[in-house]
């Protein structure tokens, strides 16, 4: 499986993703600089990593969404190449309109850096086929702007089309207001595009994909993609 990680000034999870991809797929990803519009033609997966691209100036992801490389990402998305946006990558995908809705400042205005529980809401995606339906997993979040908002028609479409992939929940898998760390609409932590080939999520699967990091709940996401695309 051929993959690429887009690197922006201020990305800080690009190498974490690269280590995970190399480990899971056996091939190191192409590290693709944001200013280069020409992505390799043979990519199966493009990851937009976490971080603070362009210092989060104006809005998180707003500047990165207009980077030269994003034109290439958009073309690849149109061809059906799998796109994964993690944390700042999710914000970039929303600002690029590759995913609907927006990510606003956390409800309590604080930067949150801790592990959260998530319920896998659909396994009908190449990203989560390796999880069990309604499986509860633990992943870290580290963000200031992860409060997902969308208008009612968008929310209904996400629900009706089975495009909500992860919801914040408690350890027992209950989706409650107290388990919602950032105020996200309907406890949404990750969503799919209409094509089901673009996934954005605020939690960091790459940060818990190796037992040496204290957990492996994120690993199945990368394994699922690899098995679907290899």
Partner 1 sequence: MKARVHVTLKAGVLDPQGKAIAHALHALGFDGVRDARQGKVIELDLEDDDPEAARARIDDMCRQLLANTVIETYRIEL
Contact with partner 1 (CB under 8 A) among 14, 95, 121, 206: 95
Residue closer to partner 1 by CB (options 71, 149) is 149
153 contacts: CB under 8 Å, gap ≥ 6? none
Q: C-alpha dihedral over 100, 102, 103, 105, to 10 degrees?
A: -160
Q: Does 62 help bind partner 1 (rule: CB under 8 A)? A: yes
Q: Is 206 a catalytic residue?
A: yes
Q: Is 204 a catalytic residue?
A: yes
Among 13, 60, 87, 169, the one annotated catalytic: 87
Q: Which two tokens stand for residue 24?
A: 């899971």
Q: Is 117 a catalytic residue?
A: no
Contact with partner 1 (CB under 8 A) among 2, 23, 30, 59: 59
Q: CA 137 to CA 188: how far, in whole Å?
A: 15
Q: CA 59 to CA 214: how far, in whole Å?
A: 32
Site string for partner 1, 150-189 (x = CB under 8 A): xx-------------------------------x------
What angle is formed at CA 58 by the lines to CA 193 and CA 35, rounded to 5 degrees?
70
Beta strands 147-149 and 82-86, pairing class = unpaired
Q: Does 53 help bind partner 1 (rule: CB under 8 A)? A: no
Residue closer to partner 1 by CB (options 138, 144) is 144
Which residue's entry shows tokens 């993703």? 17
Which residue's entry shows tokens 């929303």? 94
- 114 beta partners: 141
Asked whether 189 and 167 are in contact (CB, 8 A), the reply is yes
Number of residues that bind partner 1 (CB under 8 A): 20
Shortest gap between Cβ of 49 and partner 1 (angstroms)? Answer: 21
Element (H, E) at 49: none
Contact with partner 1 (CB under 8 A) among 19, 30, 71, 104: 104
Q: Does 58 help bind partner 1 (rule: CB under 8 A)? A: yes
Contact with partner 1 (CB under 8 A) among 100, 140, 190, 200: 100
Residues known to be catalytic: 87, 204, 206
Q: Which residues bind partner 1 (CB under 8 A)?
A: 58-59, 62, 66, 94-95, 100-102, 104-109, 147, 149-151, 183
């Amino acid at each position: 499986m051929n993959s690429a990680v887009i690197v922006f000034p201020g990305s800080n999870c690009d190498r974490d993703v690269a280590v995970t991809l190399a480990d899971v797929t056996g091939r190191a990803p192409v590290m693709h600089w944001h200013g280069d519009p020409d992505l390799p033609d043979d990519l199966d997966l493009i990851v937009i990593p976490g971080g603070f691209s362009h210092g989060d100036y104006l809005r998180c992801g707003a500047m990165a969404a207009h980077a030269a490389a994003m034109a290439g990402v958009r073309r690849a998305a149109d061809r059906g190449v799998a796109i994964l946006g993690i944390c700042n990558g999710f914000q970039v995908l929303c600002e690029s309109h590759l995913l609907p809705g927006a990510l606003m400042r956390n409800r309590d205005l604080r930067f949150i850096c801790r592990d959260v529980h998530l319920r896998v809401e659909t396994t009908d995606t190449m990203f989560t086929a390796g999880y069990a339906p309604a499986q509860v997993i633990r992943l870290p979040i580290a963000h200031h702007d992860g409060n997902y908002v969308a208008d009612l028609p968008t929310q209904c479409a996400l629900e009706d089309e089975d495009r909500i992939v992860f919801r914040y929940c408690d350890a027992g898998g209950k989706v409650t207001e107290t388990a919602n760390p950032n105020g996200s609409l309907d406890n949404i932590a990750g969503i799919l595009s209409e094509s089901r080939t673009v996934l954005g999520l605020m939690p960091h699967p790459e940060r818990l994909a190796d037992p040496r990091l204290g957990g492996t709940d994120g690993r199945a996401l990368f394994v699922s993609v690899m098995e679907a695309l290899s």
